[in-house]
């Protein structure tokens, strides 16, 4: 009998910034790295003979919790990638909800009927991931293997374990980041001993334990963004304390309501304004504005964000929580570069 631990990657930028990651490469968040540390503790005393992951950066980083301390090579497999969502890639869920509401509903509620030109179907994902996991199981007969992959990919795999294809995909649970599913392979068949377990995530690691519930839609709709002129932004947010001096000015809308504004210079990475209306704070919208800054600066070849050190305690807490650190010159900085160790780790790639 072969034992496989199927693991969802730790929290990545798309999860925090509420955008469709698909097969787009994204960093882990600071909370994601805390989850990686918790995952390492979980597997410290667990026998693992081989480690596999998709070739995307967020799964490689997550797999480092196991392959690095156990001094194992990492086997990267493109077949373990997340679903490719075509024209949805990198778009915010708020934007998708505004333009493709019915398809967004089908994406989770009825995956068999979800279709987007240029994207994979749910069945295609199920077939390639199931084939990849079965191949791994056969090649490691009698061993214990960790397989790090993605939320939708795991969900579709579990939906098809009983051979019913997409019949139960609508009720297959969506596991939290770093959730662990234990699969047993015997007699040519896979069965789950347990699914989507997050018992390794303690309250003090920055992660919130949640019951594994089936969501009514694919992702909670968040903000959608529109580029505007500085005068328009200033008129929409007269109480924003910071200047709208950036070369790129984006307004984030919640439905049709202007919820927040971002002003940033994509070339230097300097953020001039990041503001959310008072009654909408502490709901994650500030992080979504930050995600747009990351996207714009990275598109211009930048590797860091900078902002003047804020005066208010709440703003300092917000920036520290999302990875900014003081550089000693009255500026706080956030690194958004990819670590070369996880772009090309030791091991093979297929």
- Is the same domain home to 19 and 141? yes
User: How far is residue 299's CA from residue 276's CA, in Å, rounded to a whole number?
Assistant: 24
Q: How far is CA 19 from the centre of its chain?
A: 8
For residues 200 and 121, membership in a common domain is answered with yes
Residues of the chain with pLDDT under 50: 204-218
* Whether residue 241 is found in the same domain as residue 305: yes
212, 239 Cβ separation under 8 angstroms: no
**What total number of domains does the chain contain?**
2
Q: Read off the CATH number of the domain in which 101 is found.
A: 3.40.50.1240
Residue 73: phi, psi to the nearest 5? Answer: -70, 155
Q: Say if residue 16 is in the same domain as residue 120.
A: yes
- Report DSSP state, residue 85: -
If you ran DSSP here, which 8-state letter would residue 176 be given? Answer: P
Structure tokens at 154: 């795991």
Q: Domain check: are 160 and 246 in the same one?
A: no
Examine residue 204 and state whether it is found in any structural domain, yes or no: yes
What does the alpha-carbon distance between residue 221 and residue 92 come to, in Å, rounded to a whole number? 8
CA distance linking residue 311 with residue 316, whole number of Å: 7
Q: Which of 219, 247, 270 is the last residue of a domain?
A: 219
- DSSP 8-state class, residue 81: P
Kind plus residue range of the DSSP H or E element containing 75:
strand 74-76
Pairing between β-strand 257-265 and β-strand 331-335 as defined by DSSP bridges? unpaired
Say yes or no: 205 and 250 in one domain. no
Confidence (pLDDT) at 44? 97
What would the two tokens of residue 55 be?
């070739």
pLDDT for 258 equals 96
206 & 284 share domain: no
Instruction: Indicate whether 14 and 120 sit together in one domain.
Output: yes
The reported pLDDT for the residue numbered 161 is 85
| Domain identity same for 212 and 287 | no
Q: How far apart are CA 23 and CA 55, in angstroms?
A: 10
| Residue 77 and residue 213 in one domain | yes
Report pLDDT for 209: 45
Kindly report the backbone phi and psi dihedral angles of residue 294, in degrees, each rounded to the nearest multiple of 5, phi listed first. -60, -45
- To 5 degrees, how large is the angle CA 209–CA 215–CA 217? 140
pLDDT tens, residue by residue, 142-198:
999 999 999 999 999 998 887 666 666 666 778 999 999 999 999 999 999 999 999
- The two structure tokens encoding residue 26: 């994204």
The answer to whether residue 340 sits within a structural domain is no
Q: Report yes or no on 342 lying in a domain.
A: no
Asked if 164 and 231 sit in the same domain, the reply is no
Q: What is the CATH number of the domain that holds 314?
A: 3.40.630.30
Give the residue from 184, 200, 219 where a domain finishes: 219
Domain span at 17 = 2-219
- Rounded CA-CA distance 173/6 in Å is 14
CA distances 275 to 59, 260, 323, Å, are 32, 5, 17
Q: Are residues 24 and 94 in the same domain?
A: yes
Burial of 88 (0-12, 13-18, 19+ CB in 10 A): buried
Number of residues that make up the chain: 350
Q: How far is CA 136 from the centre of its chain?
A: 25
Positive or negative, the Cα torsion across 104, 108, 111, 113? Answer: negative
- Measured distance between the N- and C-terminal CA atoms of the chain, rounded to whole angstroms: 25
Looking at residue 164, its pLDDT comes to 64
Q: Are 175 and 138 in contact (CB under 8 A)?
A: no
């Amino acid at each position: 009998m072969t034992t496989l631990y199927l693991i969802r990657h730790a929290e990545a930028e798309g999860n925090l910034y509420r955008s469709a990651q698909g097969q787009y490469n994204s960093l882990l968040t600071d909370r994601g790295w805390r989850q990686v540390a918790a995952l390492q503790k979980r597997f410290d005393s667990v026998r693992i003979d081989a480690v596999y992951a998709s070739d995307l950066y967020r799964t490689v980083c997550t797999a480092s919790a196991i392959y690095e301390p156990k001094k194992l090579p990492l086997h990267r497999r493109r077949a373990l990638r997340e679903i490719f969502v075509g024209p949805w890639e990198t778009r915010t869920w708020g934007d998708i909800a505004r333009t493709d509401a019915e398809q967004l509903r089908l994406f989770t509620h009825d995956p068999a009927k979800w279709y987007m030109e240029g994207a994979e179907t749910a069945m295609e994902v199920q077939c390639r991931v199931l084939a990849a996991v079965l191949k791994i199981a056969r090649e490691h007969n009698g061993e214990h293997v960790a397989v790090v992959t993605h939320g939708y990919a795991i969900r579709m795999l579990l939906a098809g374990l009983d051979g019913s294809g997409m019949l139960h995909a609508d009720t297959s649970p969506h596991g939290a980041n770093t959730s662990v599913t234990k699969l047993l392979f015997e007699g040519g068949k896979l069965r789950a001993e347990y699914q989507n377990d997050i018992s390794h995530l303690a309250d003090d690691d920055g992660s919130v334990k949640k019951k594994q519930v089936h969501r009514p839609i694919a992702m909670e709709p968040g903000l959608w963004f529109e580029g505007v002129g500085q005068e328009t932004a200033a008129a929409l947010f007269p109480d924003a304390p910071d200047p709208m001096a950036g070369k790129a000015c984006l307004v984030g809308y919640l439905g049709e309501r202007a919820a927040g504004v971002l002003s940033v210079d994509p070339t230097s990475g300097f953020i001039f304004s990041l503001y959310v209306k008072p009654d909408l704070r502490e709901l994650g919208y500030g992080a979504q504005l930050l995600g747009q800054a990351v996207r714009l600066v990275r598109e211009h070849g930048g590797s860091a964000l900078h902002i003047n050190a804020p005066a208010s305690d709440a703003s300092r807490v917000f920036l520290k929580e999302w990875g900014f650190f003081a550089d000693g010159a009255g500026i706080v900085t956030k690194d958004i570069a990819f670590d070369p160790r996880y772009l090309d780790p030791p091991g093979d790639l297929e």
